A = this chain, B = another copy of it.
Amino acid sequence: MANAPVQRMSHLLAKTLRDDPADAEVLSHKLLVRAGYVRRTAAGIWSWLPLGRKVLSNVERVVREEMDAIGAQEVLLPALLPREPYEATGRWDEYGGELFRLKDRKGGDYLLGPTHEEIFTLLVKDQASSYKDLPVILYQIQSKYRDEARPRAGILRGREFLMKDSYSFDLSDEGLAESYALHRQAYQRIFERLGLDYRICAATAGAMGGSKSEEFLAPAEAGEDTFADCPHCDFAANTEAITYELKPVDGSGVPAAEEIPTPDTPTIETLAASLGVPASATLKNLLVKVDGEIVAVGVPGDREVDMGKVEAHFAPALVEMVTEADFAGRPDLVRGYVGPQGLDKVTYIADPRVAPGTAWITGANKEHTHARNVVAGRDFEADAYVDVVVVQEGDPCPKCGTGLKLDRAIEIGHIFQLGRKYTDALKLDVLGQNGKPVRVTMGSYGIGVSRAVAALAEQHADDKGLVWSKEVAPADVHVVAAGKALQTELALELSQRLADAGVRVLVDDRAGVSPGVKFTDAELIGVPEILVVGRRAAEGVVELKNRRTGEREEITTDEALSRLTA
C-alpha cells in the first residue's frame, strides 16, 4: 500500500472550535465537534470530516482484520431492502416507528436496513444447499438506519450509523455455540486493539429473538445502558437482564394476618413512618392497565418498578398507568390501600422478592387500613412471578451474593444466538449428511463502528481534548511549525521525511496562526505524538511531546526521526 501523503492543516477541512456546541450534552459529542471530526447534517444524521473519516477507517480496518482472522467472509448487501422478507418474519410491523419505510416509483414497499437477518438468511438459502456448505460466517460494514424517536448524544445514537454486522449459519446448536465463541473472541481482540475499556455482560435478547445474548459495554458517563458488576466474582450484566430466582421461604411460623388501622397513609413513606417499620417490610402494589385490563404488580415497598421490564413481560400488549377514572365503579380497588389478598378480579404479578412464605404489611383494601402478617402463598397467590424491579447498587450478585456495583455504559457490541427464528420464518434448510433436510441455526453479531469512535472519545480524553491510541489516531504524529517561514519550511521537510518512512503525519503549517493556538489545537485533536518545530529547529533541535502523559523532551531532529519511525 502506498504511503499516506502528509496532511497539511493549512488545507485540512477541520475547523476547531473553542466552545462546546450549544446542543451537545455528552463529552464525545462536544470534543468530536470541537476538534473538527464530525458535523451534524440533520437530527441524528452526521457527516464525518477528514480527521473523523480516518479514525472511522482505522476502526473499520481493525474490525476487518479480526473478522477475517476467524474465517468470516466479507460481503456487501444493499441498505435499500424490499419489504417481503421483513414481512415474512414479522419485523416489517414489529419495528414500529424505528423503521424507515419508503416507496419506489412503482409503489413497491422498501425499507432502509436496520439489521439484515432476513436478507442474509435468503442469501444463504440461495447459495448453500448441502451440509458441506456450512458452517459459514458472513459480515459487512455498512450504513444502517433507525428512526430513533429522540436521536441524541451526537454519534452515540444516530439515525444513520456505521455498523459491522455478521451472521453465522450452522447445522447444529453446538456449531452455533462455536460460531458464537469465535465472535466473542474476535470482539475481545477488536476492543482490546482499539483500546476500549469494556465488560462482557449478559443481555436480554430484545427484539432480535433467540436464546443467548451478550453485550460488550464500554463504561462511560454518557452511556444509555446501566450494567451491574460484581466486585467479587466475574458476574456482569445489563441491569435489564438481571432476574432473581424465586426462593420460597418457610412462612409457617407467621401469625395470622390481621387488619390494623392506619389513618392517612396512602403512600409507602407515610405508612412506614406511621408504623415505624422500614419500607422494605411493606408490599407495594402498583396498578397498571394491560390492553385496558387492570393488573396489579407487587414489589417490596423500598423498590422501584422497572416499567421496561413490565412492558417486556406483557409485549406486544400495550401497558399504561392507571388514572383516576379507572377507579370509577371499582369498589374492590381502594386507592392507596390496595392489597393482594382478596383481589379476585385482578391479575396479580409479583416480584420474586415477594416469594411464597414471605410476610408483608400491605393494604387491606379498605380506606385508612392496612394488614400485617400477610403471607405470600398463604393469604394470596401471585398469578405469575416476574422480576420487575429496578436493580440498585448493592443488590446481591445473582452468582455469589456480593453487593453489586452499578455503572453507565455504551453498548459497543452485541452477540446473539438467534437459533431458528429467521430460518424457520424463511425456511432455510440444507441437505444433511443423511440425505434429509436440516433446518439451519443462526447467530447475529454487531459492532457499532461509528459508535465505537464515540466510545473511544468518551474514554480517552482529558481536559485539553482527545487522546487517541496509535491504532485509531488520525495520524501517528502531529508536527507543529511554531515560528516563522523557516520553521514551517523545516516542519514540512521533516513531515515529508516521516511520511516517506511510512509514518502518518498531520502538520500544522498554517500561516498567521500563533504557536499557542497551534498547541491548543494539537491537544484538542489528540494525535499521540506532538513534534514541535520551534526556535531551535535551525540548530537541529525539536521538541517531542507525548499527548497522553504530557512528557516533553528536547531532542535532535535525527533522534526524533529515528524514534518516530521505529
A interface list, Cβ under 8 A from B: 1-2, 4-5, 7, 10-15, 36, 39, 41-42, 45-50, 52-54, 56-57, 61, 65, 68-69, 71, 73-82, 97-98, 100-102, 104-105, 110, 112, 119, 123-124, 126-129, 132-133, 136, 138, 140, 143, 145, 147, 149, 159-160, 162, 510-512
Contacts and interface: CB of A to CB of B under 8 A. Distances in A.
Nearest to A101: B102
A13 B97 contact: no
A50 B79 contact: no
A87 to B, nearest CB: 13
A509 to B, nearest CB: 12
Contact of A102 (B15, B57, B65, B100): B100
A484 to B, nearest CB: 17
B100 A80 contact: yes
Interface of A, secondary structure class, is mixed
Given A102-B102, A104-B147, A126-B39, A45 B13 contact: no
A132 B12 CA distance: 11
B68 A5 contact: yes
B10 A78 contact: no
Contacts of A45: 78, 80-82
26 contacts: A1-B65, A11-B136, A13-B75, A14-B127, A36-B127, A41-B81, A41-B119, A42-B80, A42-B110, A45-B80, A47-B75, A47-B123, A48-B77, A49-B75, A50-B75, A52-B76, A53-B75, A78-B160, A79-B160, A98-B105, A100-B104, A101-B102, A102-B102, A102-B112, A105-B147, A105-B149
Given A41-B82, A48-B75, A100-B104, 20 more contacts: A1-B65, A10-B132, A11-B71, A13-B133, A13-B136, A15-B129, A39-B126, A39-B127, A45-B81, A45-B82, A47-B75, A47-B77, A48-B77, A53-B74, A56-B76, A78-B143, A79-B143, A102-B102, A102-B112, A104-B159
B105 A42 contact: no
A508 to B, nearest CB: 14
A57 B159 CA distance: 26
B79 A79 contact: yes
Contact of A73 (B12, B105, B110, B159): B12
Contact of A46 (B39, B47, B78): B78
Complex copy number for this chain: 2
Contacts of A82: 41-42, 45
Contact of A65 (B2, B133, B510): B2
A98 B1 CA distance: 38
A102 B54 CA distance: 30
Contacts of A127: 13-15, 36, 39, 49
Nearest to A130: B512
A78 B147 CA distance: 14
Contact of A74 (B14, B50, B74, B140): B50
A171 B406 CA distance: 56
B100 A159 contact: no
A121 to B, nearest CB: 12
Contact of A77 (B41, B76, B123, B511): B41
A387 B77 CA distance: 44
A352 B9 CA distance: 53
A13 B73 contact: yes
Contacts of A2: 65, 68-69
B5 A69 contact: yes
Given A102-B100, A105-B147, A80 B112 contact: yes
Given A53-B75, A105-B97, A4 B68 contact: yes
A78 B47 contact: yes
Contacts of A143: 78-79, 143
A487 to B, nearest CB: 18
Contacts of A132: 10, 510-512
A475 B46 CA distance: 35
A76 B48 contact: yes
A380 to B, nearest CB: 43
A71 B4 CA distance: 10
A65 to B, nearest CB: 5
